[in-house]
Amino acid sequence: MNCGSDIELESTSPMDRDSIRHFDDEEIARLSKRVILKLDLILLPFLCLLFLLNSLDKSNVGNAESGHFTEDLGLPKSALNVSVAWFFAVFVCLQPIGAFFGRKYGMVRWVPGTMTLWGVCTALHIAVQSQTQLVTLRVLIAALEAGFYPTTVSYLSLWYTRYEFGKRLAFFYGQAALAGCFGGLLSWAVFSYFPRDDPTPHITTAKWKSWEILFLVEGTLTIVVAAVGFFWLPHSANTAWFLTADERLVAEERIRNDQIAAATSWSESKQQPAVIDTREPRSLGLSDSRHSLTLEDEEADYLLPGAEIGPEISGRRQSHASVASVTADIGISREDIFSAVADWKVWYLLFCNILSAIPATAFAVFLPLVIKGIAGREDLGPAAINLLVVPPFLAGAIILFVFTSWSDRRRIRLIPILYGLAILLAGLAATVSLPTNAYKLRYFALTILLSGSFVASPLTVTWLSNNIPQPGKRAIVLGINGWGNFAGVISSMLFAPKFEEGGYLIPFYVTLACVLTAFIGYLAFRALVVAENQRRTRIVANWDEEEIRREAMFGDGAVVEDKNLWTVITKIFRLDHLREWAGIDRLRRGDEKLTFLYSL
């Protein structure tokens, strides 16, 4: 099942692959720097803008509520929580489906198309008259936004190597924090310019309310940027309008080589000769002539298993999708879906991600209301409250960038996550420990809390992206990980209006317990990954060179009967039977290969 597109992507022909080998190392280094610079200046900022608007359209109801949104409509305060709960319930459920369609039809088609529609829905909030209409609009936006994040992150990961990706993802994910800053500033400006006691100081044609202006501005901006996206975003490096012909070749080749390095990480860790030579096409010289393949054939197995076409090799079909492009935004297979769903690490990290994401998802919507609840001053108007939202979110964006830069530089992911959660726990502990009348200190504790709130989720996504070589599987995994937004459903129930009088003390205690559990979970996960790497190293150490080569190429280096967590789960859930029923062979692919060691 190859769910591709009818778009004809320009392929990297063997002649092109030969052309790049005529470049000397200095020329390749120069071209690589130009490619990265162009990606950082042209592609990354536009993707960040998309996510900024995506985050705004998720959180703007909280800003609107601080401007008496539900009160002006004659709705109960609980209507906001009900609409947020419905939003996240639908948003969470449809994440993998949205990711599937995003990969099937391609980022360039899917995201701008859905974005245009949810921009229209955002603007339509000005026509809401009842709770049913409000919930309906939020559900429509949730359905359209589902899959945006995994699709866009998967697309971004196609352009950067493993240890360039973390810092770039920080710029991208940091828009969730900057959206809080921008949303607060925009709301402050709107609420200052259109105060509630005089609805029409500057517009005389109709009685516009401040929150109506807010929804209209944000919705229109989303529609305009989405329209630009159809022309701005390339389907792959081979069709990137901002790259020269030579830069396109280098853009493809550097990702190809990075994926080869990931697939042969056992060899690198043991400081042995690389299993596959990435500079010259050659035959591996295996004893069976059927396995005498060139470099292009070798790479196809573990670089982009998005198609089921190719010659028969040892009774199985070999993919050649990677010969066309390793940066293509389209292509997914049965193997990708099965491997993603059957991977225990995905579900383990999902559980941890849900618990750790509660503060970030809660305060993305409810921070203006929480600040109002702990400020202790009745004279603070909507403009002042939204201005106070800015410093905590700005602190979160700064800490996120610092931690992800450290993560990329040291090539580690899990330790920075633990440090980020430690900061978050410190802020939560201070918030619940301080007296409820210590307003300034509690606001400072809230700022510390937000500082650590945005670290765990993007670095979890980075870990998954770094350790899943197959783009199709990666897209589905990120879609499943998108269920981490279930934290939004929890937060909508936690930070209910009934807890406002007590300064939201009970919700903070519950959040503290959840984040502490997540901290322990990530700590245990690191231990499990270390144990799995040690198991693979122990197994492969006893293999001969041919078995190692076969494992790196085909995932069938040797029959392994070794008890571990994965084999136990496989037997419990009868995954081998499901694999046979789906017509999928038992070959190890991508991160399943025993020559692949997980990064930490």
| Integer angstrom CA distances of residue 252 from 17, 28, 155, 330 | 10, 12, 14, 15
Q: Residue 510 region, left (φ>0) first, then alpha (ψ -120 to 50), else beta? A: alpha
- Mapped onto helix, strand or coil, the DSSP state of residue 284 is coil
φ and ψ of 311, to 5 deg: -75, 160
Which of 122, 182, 195, 126 has the alpha carbon at shortest distance from 382?
195
User: Please, which residues have CB within 8 angstroms of residue 258's CB and are 6 or more apart in sequence?
Assistant: 161, 162
161 vs 258: CA distance, rounded Å: 6
Contact 469, 592 (CB under 8 A): no
Which tokens hold the place of 536?
Answer: 């693979």
Contact 108, 233 (CB under 8 A): yes
Contact 279, 295 (CB under 8 A): no
Q: Is the dihedral of CA 276, 277, 283, 286 positive or negative?
A: negative
Contact 413, 600 (CB under 8 A): yes
Where are the domains positioned within the chain? 14-239+339-529
170 vs 455: CA distance, rounded Å: 9
328 vs 320: CA distance, rounded Å: 13
Local structure of residue 275 (DSSP, 8 states): S
DSSP assignment of 41-71: IIIHHHHHHHHHHHHHHHHHHHHHHHTTHHH
- Residue for token digits 């995905």? 346
**Counting beta carbons within 10 angstroms of the beta carbon of residue 246, is it exposed (0 to 12), middle (13 to 18) or buried (19 or more)?**
middle
**pLDDT tens track of the chain, all 600 residues?**
444 333 333 344 444 555 555 667 788 888 999 999 999 999 999 998 898 888 877 777 877 877 778 888 888 878 888 888 888 888 888 888 888 888 888 888 899 999 999 999 999 988 888 889 999 999 999 999 988 988 898 898 888 888 888 888 888 877 766 776 777 777 777 777 777 655 444 444 447 788 888 888 889 999 999 999 999 999 888 889 999 988 998 888 888 888 777 666 555 454 443 333 333 332 222 233 333 333 333 333 333 333 333 333 333 333 333 344 677 767 777 788 888 888 889 999 999 999 999 888 877 666 777 777 665 555 566 667 777 878 888 888 889 889 988 988 888 889 999 999 999 999 989 888 888 777 788 888 888 988 888 899 889 988 998 888 888 888 888 888 888 878 877 887 887 777 777 667 888 889 999 999 999 999 999 999 999 888 888 888 888 888 887 777 776 666 655 555 555 555 555 555 555 555 566 677 778 888 888 888
347 vs 333: CA distance, rounded Å: 20
The predicted pLDDT at position 585 comes to: 60
103 vs 110: CA distance, rounded Å: 9
* Encoded amino acid at 574, one letter: R
330 vs 318: CA distance, rounded Å: 18
The predicted pLDDT at position 435 comes to: 80
Which of 171, 28, 85, 574 has the alpha carbon at shortest distance from 366?
85
Which tokens hold the place of 343?
Answer: 């991977």
272 vs 331: CA distance, rounded Å: 34
User: Please, which residues have CB within 8 angstroms of residue 233's CB and are 6 or more apart in sequence?
Assistant: 43, 46, 107, 108, 111, 112
| Integer angstrom CA distances of residue 106 from 96, 144, 187, 520 | 15, 15, 34, 37
What percentage of the chain reaches a pLDDT higher than 90?
17
178 vs 318: CA distance, rounded Å: 45
Which tokens hold the place of 260?
Answer: 């080869």
Among the residues of 205-244, which ranges form H helices?
Answer: 210-232
244 vs 265: CA distance, rounded Å: 32
Contact 320, 328 (CB under 8 A): no
The predicted pLDDT at position 289 comes to: 33
Local structure of residue 290 (DSSP, 8 states): G
The predicted pLDDT at position 55 comes to: 81
Start-to-end CA distance of the chain, whole Å, equals 33
468 vs 263: CA distance, rounded Å: 10
- Which of 140-179 are b and which e, b meaning 16 or more Cβ less than 10 Å from the residue's Cβ? bbbbbbbbbbbbbbbbbbbbbbbbbbbbbbbbbbbbbbbb
User: What is the tens place of the pLDDT at every residue in 389-413?
Assistant: 788 888 888 898 899 889 888 888 8
User: What is the tens place of the pLDDT at every residue in 302-324?
Assistant: 333 333 333 333 333 333 333 44
Q: What is the largest CA-CA distance in the chain?
A: 85
φ and ψ of 313, to 5 deg: -130, 115
Instruction: Please state the pTM of the whole predicted model.
Output: 0.70
Q: Which CATH architecture has domain 14-239+339-529?
A: Up-down Bundle (1.20)
Contact 453, 360 (CB under 8 A): yes
